[in-house]
Structure formats: C-alpha cells, structure tokens
Structure 1
Amino acid sequence: MNLLRPALLATALVVSLAACDSGTAPGTAASGGAQGAPIAVDLPRADSDFWNSYAKYIPRFAKDSGLNLMTPTNSQNDIAKLVANTQALTSQGAKAIVMAPQDTGAIATTLAQLEQRKIPVVAVDTRPDKGNVYMVVRADNRAYGQKACEFLGAKLGGKGKVIEFQGALSSVNGRDRSEAFAECMSSKFPGITVFAEPTDWEGAKASAALQTRLAQHPDINGIYMQAGGVFLAPTLQLLRTKNLLVPPSDPKHIFVVSNDGIPQEFDAIRKGEIDATVSQPADLYAKYALFYAKAAVDGRTFQPGKTDHGSTIVQVRDGLLEDQLPAPLVTKDNVDDSTLWGNQIGK
C-alpha cells in the first residue's frame, strides 16, 4: 500500500491514463494546448500542516511541467473568500481553476457560473455536493474512517471509550469519515463507546472537547483525529499536561489514529506518542490536480476505470468523475518507508 514515488509532472503528462478516451494523443494539445494557458490554483487554508505541504508541491510540479501557473490565492477556509478569489482569477484570464472548497455545499453557484463561462474546475480533496467539475482528485474518505475504526478496534480489543474529532460536517470529507467510522464501530465493535465531537476542522475545538471528555471519562483509551494537520499539536499538548503521553507499553497509553500523513505525525509515531495515520497524498493531490487542469484545457476526456498511476476513476454521479488516489495506513511498521510523501517533503 505504499504511495507512488513522486515523479516529474512532465513525465505524467506524456503517459496516457487507461481511462482516457479523448482520442487525443497523450500530452498533445487539443484546443491550442495548456502550455501557455493560465492555470489558477486556490489554496484552501494556511492553518494546516497538510495544506501547507500541498502548497509547496504546487509550484514545484507546475515548474517541472512548464505550466503557466498564476500566483496562487488562499481562501483561508472562508467560502466567501473562495468565491471572491475565483471571480478575480477568472477576470485575470484563468483558463482552468484548481480549488479545494472546504464548504462543499456552498460552492454550487460559483461552479455553475464557471461552467457557463466554459472554465473547467478541478476539485482537490473535497467533492462538491451539487454542481459539476471536470475532475475530483481525492482519496476514498470513507476508507479513512473504516481504517481508523479497524485499527482502534483491534488495539482496544473491542472494548473501551474513544473520542472522535470530526471534521466539519458541511464538508463531504467530514461526513464520509464520520459516517464510515460510526458504521464500522457499530457493526464490528459494539463494545466500544464513541464520543463524536464536531470541530469544524479547528484544533482549539478539538482540544476543548478532549479536555471535557477526559474530565468526564478519565478511562478514555482511544482517539480518532480526522485531520492531524490541525489536531495533532493541541492533542499532544493536552495529553502531555495530563501525563497521558506515555509509550504504548504503558497501561495509561491512549491509542491515537489520525488522518493526513504529515511529517509531524510520522515523528509522533516514531516516538510512540500516536500509533497510526492514514497518509493523505499531498504530493499526488498537487501533481494530478495540475495534470487534470492541463487535460481540461487540452480538451481531453476520461471514463471510469483503473489509471496508470495506481488509482481508480469512479463515477460519483451523472457527469461527475473522481480519481481516487491511494492513501495507505502508516504505523510504526512502515513509518520509515521512503516512498511516503511525509518522508520526502523538504528533502
């Protein structure tokens, strides 16, 4: 389940996807080409180590492929700002836009306007609840919740108490992870009590919920963090102040599984502070978001099926395709795997 080793985007642009049916030769411009076409990227936030890592990959892959990347904007987890940024990028001549809307319901009107103007959109990590985009670049978020449930269930022997830091339920990611985790716990580990805490992807809210639940239930022995990029630091800080940051061999150890795959999570796994994370592919998100932005401008089309980069394109609903990239579970057994992006960023 290792992630693919990041390669130059230029290489990906000359290798056909098995799911492509455009009839256009791989890498060949079908509508004047994307080489000189302005490609816009809106970064969703700057308060997450995961998204900051993604932001570092964007210019790297754009440069490697010779794309005309416009100066990225940052919507700071604010849908109104994302709408304003999109309007500005459009007026500046963007021919395709890559975005990661954190509120997946409120972006529908903007997507409809872009569709009318024939400006394709690639959605990264999140999928719009309504409206169409050219391609969704994402991992299977239900699998995140499923993997977290099975890991904690096994570690706790099917008994105990777990607190879950839910992502924003206005986001399809928060809903997918939460629903899958709840369904798995209910069906496979009914002896485990789950305290589901909505957090809106905010570390302070997660820390406050943990503080309250530990006061009420000092025997909590598991934590599921749906986003290590925002939850890891405040969680470790609180556990440290309560003398609960102890090795897995200590009976007081609280088993923690996370989602993201950032270097800080890997370090925490090595130290025995947390136990696992699902490596959300920040590198592949950037790489294939730009790949599909270029493909959109080139006039290429895709169909459901296996790709040549270890993923599967699925049809989510009529007219909406999603390229589901691999996202492996990382534990102490494979945390040093050099192919994981969390072991490569910054090197």
Structure 2
Amino acid sequence: MRSRQVRNGSRNGLRGGRTSSRVTRAAALTACAALTLVACGSTKDTGAAAAGGGGTGKVGVILPLLTSPFWQSYNDYVPKMATSEGVDALKTVNSNSDPSQQITDINNQLNQGVKGLVVAPLDSAAIEAGLDQAERRGVPVVAVDVAPDKGKVAMVVRADNVAYGEKACQYLGKQIPSGKVVQIMGDLASVNGRDRSEAFRSCVKKNFPKLKVLEIPAKWESDTAASKLDTLLNANPDIKGIYMQAGGVYLAPTLQTLKSKGMLKTAGQAGHITIVSNDGIPQEFDAIRKGEIDATVSQPADAYAKYGMYYIKAAMEGKTFEPGPTDHDSTIVELPGGILEDQLPAPLVTKDNVDDPELWGNTVG
C-alpha cells in the first residue's frame, strides 16, 4: 500500500551529497506544489491543526549527545535543513547522554512556548515522560533515530536498525568461514541497541553456525568499549571479526586497542581482523580506504535532519500519513502501538563504493 503524501505534493530524499539531479528534483517539487492532488498524490489530512497550525511557530530540537562525530554532523545539518524545509528551529539542545536531562530539556523547551519538537531519544522507555508532557501541551513531536516504546509521536524518522545487524552479519559471515566474532553493542535501553544486537545474533545463528559470537555491552560509551575489548582480546586473541554498532563512539577506541596489542593489521595482511561498523562518518570512510576496517552501514545523518524538519512541519499543519512506500526511497511502517516510522535507506559501504559522492560522509569535513 503506497503511503499517502501530504497536501503540498511529493518530497524527495537527501540520501547523499548535493547533486545536480537533486536540484532538478527540487525544481520539480516546486512545480508539483502548484498541481492538483491527482497529479501530486493523495492526502490523508484528517487531523486537526496542532498548536501553531499552518506550520508556524518555534521548533525545539533536542540532541542525545555531541561526543560522536555522527551527532556532530546531524547537529550541523539541522539549521540547514530547517531553512530548506521552512521551519523556524531554535538552537539545538544537547542532553549529554543523560535520559533524565533529556526530559528536563523537553520541559524547558515546552516552557519556552515551542509549537513542535524534534527529539532524538536516549532511552526508548524513559522518553515517554517527555512525550506525555508534550501531548498535554498539544505540541507534536517527531522522534529521530530512536523509536519510543510508548508515548505519542507524529512520526519516527529512522533507518531499519534490524537491517544494520543483518548487513553486518552477512558481510562478516561471507568473509570469515569460521571462528570468533565480537559485536560491540550499544545501549540495550535503546531500541537501536536491541534491534542491532538481536538481528546480528540471530542472523549469525541461522546463516553462519560456524561463527561464535562474543558480546560487549558498551552502552554507546567509548571508554567502556575500549576497556571491555581489551579484556576480551586478552582471553580470546584468536578473534577474527568485529561488529561495532556505532562507529562514531567505537571506531577510535577499537582501532587504538587493536594497535596497542599489535593486532591492527590492514586488509590483505595476515592476521587482519575483519571489521564492520555503523554510522557512515568520514572517519570510517578513511579507515576503509586505509584497510583498517572493511565496511560500514551509512546511517543517514542528512536525511534524519531533513525529514525530522519535514515531518514536524507537517504535524504542526495537522497532516497525517499512512504505511507504505514513500517517494524518497523509504518505507513508512507501523510499529507496535500504532506509531509510524519512516525507515530511510542506509547502504553498506565498502572499499568498492567508499568514494561515492552520494554518501553524506563524503560531503562533510
């Protein structure tokens, strides 16, 4: 079933760098906005206009942290995408990896009179308190990167995190016929950490039974990852593969730990440990080019910012969506509890396509 588009016509994705084709599509959007609904797609505009109806009013943007290059890039994209989408976004707020602080940040933004919120939740369960506060004020919320377990959001903007784990599993499994592989997990209080972990674990068990998975719960903390990886390698010096669930926080400590033990061998060298990551930051691309790691799943920081702004504006205008494919190479799915999630594309990046100018990681410094 095709997702129904909003009244102002089709929208195009921003999956990678800015190219002439995207300029062409942007021009097409402008023309499309002037056409009839039959030409530009139907609408399901059933909701009453939210606070700040008409898409006007300040929008608060709350970040989970700024210690990761991924979130630094997202933060840089936010004002650009707010401008391009016609959203009056306030300066971003950083919750510093503290779920309790994030709830305080939401309340502070509500007290400032924002008419919409774009939030990247730290804890899938804890965020419910902040979402409830926003609902009581009549302020719509779009969740970016992490879906809440409960609470009302207009849309979740997120890539398919189950696919992250499966892509990492398939890549490692095809490179390593047997032996031990490690997955450095994220915070299991986050649905992202749970989805990536379980998907990787299940895929290995089903498809590559000769691989043995060892796990490091690292909670998106670089120091924790380094310490636990060091301990694990002492007991298991025969590790053949590593899956890092967040290159933004795990890349540097993982490479440094391997280097300190004389275990950082480049691709093609004897003893090379095959490494797959998640994020798609420039540092991962450089590591792929050097042969230090082998692949990463490019999590779309640019599209997270773009569609976070797009959907909050739509929500403030009272517009709604339905499950189905979109016109920006993604699919809207319905999560438990009726929450809708736009699952944006996240390609696997290897030495074969690491220089693709369409990848957002090749468009930032």
1:74 matched to 2:74:
no
Offset from partner CA, 1:62-105 (integer Å, 9 cap, x none): 12334211121111111111111111111111111000111111
Secondary structure at the residue paired with 2:83? helix
- Structure 1 partner of 2:15: 3
- Structure 2 partner of 1:311: 330
**How far apart are 1:301 and its partner, in Å?**
0.7
Secondary structure at the residue paired with 2:265? coil
Are 1:144 and 1:278, in contact at CA under 8 Å, matched by a contact in 2? yes
2: CA distance between counterparts of 1:345 and 1:315?
Answer: 33
- Structure 1 partner of 2:169: 149
2: CA distance between counterparts of 1:187 and 1:319?
Answer: 30
RMSD: 2.4
Distance 1:57 1:192, change over 3 A: same
Gaps of 5+ in 2: 1-13, 34-39
2: CA distance between counterparts of 1:235 and 1:294?
Answer: 40
- Structure 2 partner of 1:224: 243
**How far apart are 1:31 and its partner, in Å?**
6.6
Identify which of 316, 330, 339 aligns with 1:297: 316
* Aligned residue identity for 1:172: V
Offset from partner CA, 1:38-60 (integer Å, 9 cap, x none): 01100110111101110000011
- TM-score computed with the length of structure 2 as normaliser: 0.88
2: CA distance between counterparts of 1:181 and 1:197?
Answer: 13
1: CA distance between counterparts of 2:60 and 2:286?
Answer: 33
Identify which of 225, 228, 232 aligns with 1:213: 232
Are 1:18 and 1:306, in contact at CA under 8 Å, matched by a contact in 2? no
- Structure 1 partner of 2:125: 105
Are 2:85 and 2:310, in contact at CA under 8 Å, matched by a contact in 1? no
Secondary structure at the residue paired with 1:173? helix
1: CA distance between counterparts of 2:91 and 2:312?
Answer: 15
* Aligned residue identity for 1:187: K
* Aligned residue identity for 1:21: K
Query: Where do residues 163-242 of structure 1 align in structure 2 (5 Å cutoff)?
Result: 163-242=182-261
1:139 matched to 2:159:
yes
2: CA distance between counterparts of 1:29 and 1:118?
Answer: 7
Identify which of 21, 24, 44 aligns with 1:21: 44
Are 1:18 and 1:307, in contact at CA under 8 Å, matched by a contact in 2? no
2: CA distance between counterparts of 1:100 and 1:110?
Answer: 12
Secondary structure at the residue paired with 1:221? strand
1:344 matched to 2:363:
yes
Are 2:15 and 2:302, in contact at CA under 8 Å, matched by a contact in 1? no
Secondary structure at the residue paired with 2:335? strand
1:321 matched to 2:340:
yes
Offset from partner CA, 1:237-283 (integer Å, 9 cap, x none): 11112222222211210000000000000000000000000000000
- TM-score computed with the length of structure 1 as normaliser: 0.92
2: CA distance between counterparts of 1:122 and 1:38?
Answer: 14
Secondary structure at the residue paired with 2:74? helix
